[in-house]
Amino acid sequence: MAAIRQKLLGWYDDSARDLPWRETRDPYAIWVSEVMLQQTRVDTVIPYYQRFLETFPNPRALAEADEDAVLSRWSGLGYYRRARLLHAGVREVVAQYGGEVPEDPEARRGLPGVGRYTAGAIGSIAFDKEEPVVDGNVTRVLARLFRIDTPVGKTTTTRRLWEEAARLVPGERPGAFNQALMELGATVCTPKQPHCESCPVAAECEAFIHREVDAFPAQRARRPPKEVELSAVVATRGRGADRKVWLIKSEQPLFGGLWGVPMTEGGARSALREAGLQARLGSEPVGEVEHVLTHRRLRIAVYRASGVRGRETKRRRAFSADDLESVGISTLTRKLLTTALARSGP
């Protein structure tokens, strides 16, 4: 263990990438970065992280913002539930802890949206606590280092991974050590063709020693994503610069809280009806959009509708192009709007 620790820390000091969240020990900024980095690539996150902290530089600024403003800054990053949970967690920090992210691990883990991983990352990096972290990169590194042969995702595997991470973390600079593990997974111990020849811990790596790197981490059999067919309606009022597009605030868990075009599995007419709109609906779709989510592949027929009749409500509004810049809309909604509005409608 000591050799792994020492070699990884030395390697990290020499080779770590310069990333904006590595220049701070502010627990709030680290929290924001960790939430953004879940399921999103580093290159994508950097500009979002910087803009988000410019707009909401401290917990109070974020706690006081309304949800639309937060989602608008998150717009395009995906997995919007993360933004809403971060917002809720930070509001609790302001309400319960005077705006200071708590040092106590139990208090941190009690915050909305802060699981064991996020709590450990904040604790070790910001507060120098010997708290372990296990994310996708750490899972891969540890599964190979210790030849963990039970499939990823099983409870026994998860328990073992956290135990190994907890055995490794005690010692000097626990935050740097955790980041070294993650960095190794991101840059050297990659999912395909890992660079074992330049790995600082190859001599300690059981999978490498046994020439079995490709067998780890062990995977469960995967189910193919479910195919879902949907119809979406881009309903407009007015023309040219005066054109407004009708959006509804989604109640679907995946896009909850974001504005989106009316969409359903039941056909274009149902989508309009469910949204409470009457309009002249085009007889044929103007295009098709494919969108892949973690467990679902959406195939969406895109319709245009014009001459909309319907009143604005809290969950249904007509937006100009400028308005759209200031509200949270998903990447999928952007795709649907582009597909429909780039072509001539009915």
Give the residue numbers marked as catalytic: 34
* Under rule CB under 6 A, residue 196 binds ligand SF4: yes
* Under rule CB under 6 A, residue 143 binds ligand SF4: no
Q: Interface with ligand SF4 by CB under 6 A: which range of 96-104, 129-137, 187-195, 223-231?
A: 187-195
CB of 144 to ligand SF4, least distance (A): 4
Place of tokens 């999912």: 191
* Under rule CB under 6 A, residue 53 binds ligand SF4: no
CB of 161 to ligand SF4, least distance (A): 14
Crossing angle of helices 174-187 and 136-145, rounded to 10°: 90
Q: Are strands 226-237 and 278-281 parallel, antiparallel or unpaired?
A: unpaired
* Under rule CB under 6 A, residue 208 binds ligand SF4: yes
Q: Which of 213, 272, 286, 324 touches ligand SF4 (CB under 6 A)?
A: 213
* Under rule CB under 6 A, residue 165 binds ligand SF4: no
* Under rule CB under 6 A, residue 202 binds ligand SF4: yes
Nearer to ligand SF4, 210 or 280 (CB): 210
User: Which tokens is 46 given?
Assistant: 């950097």
Contact (Cβ atoms closer than 8 angstroms) between residue 8 and residue 169 = no
User: Which tokens is 79 given?
Assistant: 């997995």
* Under rule CB under 6 A, residue 194 binds ligand SF4: yes
Task: Provide the strand spans (E) within the chain.
Answer: 226-237, 244-249, 259-260, 263-264, 278-281, 287-292, 296-309, 316-319
* Under rule CB under 6 A, residue 182 binds ligand SF4: no
If phi over 0 gives left and psi between -120 and 50 gives alpha, with beta otherwise, what is residue 271?
Answer: alpha
* Under rule CB under 6 A, residue 141 binds ligand SF4: yes
Nearest to 325 by CA among 312, 334, 315: 334
Nearer to ligand SF4, 145 or 301 (CB): 145
Contact (Cβ atoms closer than 8 angstroms) between residue 200 and residue 8 = yes
CA dist 336 and 302 (Å) reads: 7
CB of 185 to ligand SF4, least distance (A): 8
CB of 9 to ligand SF4, least distance (A): 15
Crossing angle of helices 80-97 and 27-37, rounded to 10°: 160
Q: Interface with ligand SF4 by CB under 6 A: which range of 24-32, 118-126, 138-146, 332-340?
A: 138-146
Contact (Cβ atoms closer than 8 angstroms) between residue 234 and residue 304 = yes
DSSP secondary structure string, 27-57? HHHHHHHHHHHTTS-HHHHHHHHHHHHHHS-
CB of 117 to ligand SF4, least distance (A): 20
Nearer to ligand SF4, 132 or 257 (CB): 132
Q: What are phi and psi of 310, to 5 degrees?
A: 160, 150
* Under rule CB under 6 A, residue 175 binds ligand SF4: no
CB of 211 to ligand SF4, least distance (A): 10
* Under rule CB under 6 A, residue 142 binds ligand SF4: no
Contact (Cβ atoms closer than 8 angstroms) between residue 297 and residue 329 = no
Count of chain residues binding ligand SF4 (CB under 6 A): 14
* Under rule CB under 6 A, residue 205 binds ligand SF4: yes
Judged by the rule CB under 6 A, the positions of this chain that interact with ligand SF4 are 141, 144-145, 188-189, 194, 196, 199, 201-202, 205, 207-208, 213
